[in-house]
Structure 1
Amino acid sequence: MPPIRLPSSARVALLALVLLPLAGTAWAQQKIEQQMTPEQFRATGLDRLSPEQLANLNDWLQGKLQLETAKAVEVAKQEQADDRRGLFERTSNEPIAAKLDGEFTGFGRGQRFTLDNGQVWQQVDDASLTIGRVANPQVKLTPGIIGASWYLSIDGYNTRAKVQRVK
């Protein structure tokens, strides 16, 4: 079985989910004066702050770090959920906008469509559309109303094909 190749957005999301909570914990243990060299601390003027001002700055930075970490984790979770759209379960009702990787010549049962985001979809119905070659057209995949069905449409054409994600 070939190894699973995740799109770069999924790799980033996975990395963020694993590393950001750890990074937040590590940074939370260090105050700003411990993160900087003495020269950097003096060069920024932080050495002129009172102990109370420095404590307030550290508290503010800690809160900011926790907030930004939480935001990054949420974004990573959403990207990961979005990247699974069309696979085993319905994770989102949001359409997918992408470009077809390569040329489009039309629809036909069994035809595979590779998108520029790494997803691969296969046509599962008898929709038919024959056109000349169109390089890297803009496509839109929209979920069906019932079940886990998805429909692929090519920008500029009214015909759409029922597709199933295979990768």
Structure 2
Amino acid sequence: MRAVHSVLIAAALAAAVPAFAQQTRIEERLTDAEFRAAGLEKLSQAELARLNELLARGAAPSAAAAATPDVEARIAQAREEGRREASVAAETAVRPAESREPVESTIPGAFTGFARGREYTLANGQVWRQTDNASIAGARGQDVNVRLRPGLLSVWWLQVDGYNREAKVERVR
């Protein structure tokens, strides 16, 4: 839908530009109210003449002509800061499991069943959080073996040995 709107706006502008460009001076193109609303009455005669010259050519001031060394330096600095922030974010972001291979491990200590939001720390150091409402009534165990298998659309399923129920989980770290 957005693409259709963009095409329609571009077509309307393309149709309007030739009629707009036929008038030579900005003062003739705009009403007095539009001229004042745009703040153009503040321009000096030289600035107004330059604007009219650019409009007559059908070109707006280029970014290179408008940019000063100070502006270019600030743009370069902002780009570098953005790269650094993206790098830090990538390093500290929680990453999904690197592979889509099933994982077999144990949950050291006591296992008291499934519950939404519960985190399971595996013996291999991975931490997984349950995201669904699966439960196992009366489940208890010590150092239980677990299997994690990938599902569709980046979903992972946790199953505890001895129980036929699986819980949907996501990797925390």
What's the TM-score bracket when you normalise by the shorter of the two chains?
0.3 to 0.5
In the superposition, the TM-score normalised over structure 1's length comes to: 0.45
Rg larger in structure = 2
In the superposition, the TM-score normalised over structure 2's length comes to: 0.43
Greater helix fraction, Structure 1 or Structure 2 = 2
